Structure 1
Amino acid sequence: MILRRLSGAGEFLEVAGAYLERREAEHNLLLGLAGRLRAEPTLFGHEPYLAVVTDAETVVGAFLRTPPHNLVLSELDDPVAVELVAADLLEVDPTLPGVLGPKAAAARFASAWQQLGGASGRVAMGERIYRADRTHAPAGVPGRMRAYEPADRETTLRWLREFADEAMAPGDPLLDAEDWLEGRLREPDGGVVIWEDASPVSFAGFGNPTPTGIRVGPVYTPRELRRRGYATALVAALTDVLLRRGRRHCFLFTDLANPTSNSIYQRIGYTPVTDVDMWVFG
């Protein structure tokens, strides 16, 4: 097997795109990030790490990192591929904060990373990827979805910071709320929507499209407004709009430690695809 670093997101998608698209739902994060980087190479402010491992010129794994964030692993056709990547990345950036990927692949990478001299790791969060090809709205939820407006900025920024405090795994690089919001509003296929019940009560982001789908998230309702169905209704309405615009699939990630989110999304049409683990090092 051979590891090949790639010079940009365009080359990454040219080499690995067909491999990733065969499991589009599993690879929605990789495809979405690479698509954004192809359109906006300086989006994250640092040179990304983009690599594939091939066996007899056939791709068996693809890997992407946008510093300071974690390395993202694809599904692997040969699990040994992560050991080549661990050795290569240790030379490039021995301060790698973590890795996100399929459970077995992420565990194998973490083990190889430590054996090669990197920091020890632990699972900080287990997540589940969901896909919806159709959706239905929950009954009896007051309010309506509307587009984000400039007057929503301060509320949305506050909610983003609260979301990061509650939902991001310990050791994960901090979310810069202002950068995230500006980037999502600037993205041609992305955006933010609000659920309004007399006043704003919940928000959701969407963007990072894949060849036939798009990712929904984050989704947040402040604590004092929960258990009223706002987030469920918002995700259902947003998903319906995105599918009506021509997307065949919508994807989202949930924290496996949160039974509420894992149940409510299934009630509106999302089905589980696979589980991934986030490891943090140090």
Structure 2
Amino acid sequence: MNTAFSAVNPKASSKVDGLWRRLQFALLPPHCLLCGARGETLRDLCRACLADLALNRIACARCALPLAAPAALCGECLKNEPAFDATFVPYLYGHPLDLLLTKLKFGHSLAAGRVLAELWTAALRTALGDGAIAALPDAIVPVPLHSTRLRERGYNQALELAKPLAREFGLVLAPGLLRRTRATAAQSDLDAVARRKNLRGAFEVDADHAMPAHVALLDDVMTTGTTLREAARTLKRAGIARVDVWALARAPHRH
């Protein structure tokens, strides 16, 4: 028997959340999490720090790797086609965005998570408006952590970032669809070949879960893309027709 998805009621949630946040900011005005200056409107980020965030303007359409000049695909995607179909990554990974991501990932900062979610929501709304994203997926699938890592950290930052996006755009959130079955070594310590071997067979799909036709595989940062390639390959093998990748930030260079 398939496990049915449960969608969020976005309109009701947005109205309640919006009213609660306006009351919060009326009592305690926002301040910039990066420099301490007064925040802007409903965001704990000042205008100057917001302007310092680097946009991923010229990038490979398939994997969002930043490019020096416009091109349909980067060399890596031409040589080794990824399992995912398209990628949406609005920012480059670097200062000061890396500080906010670190606050969320290792500092358990809910305020940083809220700022990052607001930035991502605004970028996604713009991408939908200008046609950079043709259609929303049926569901968002956060990249899962292995149970060991989840116990150490206490939460999955990809899931926490996915929640407000799902709520804002009325999308189904499917954190149980993909599982990480094997604890793996840190990817940052490995070369490209070792990264692929390290992640081979690290994911599996819950066969009892309802299978959407189109999903967005979501993570906070896309570095080399090796993790997302393996996760997308697993989803495709399970019968999901289209897998897009959504990440908030993209590392400028492969390591």
Higher strand share: 1
Q: Tell me the TM-score normalized by structure 2.
A: 0.32
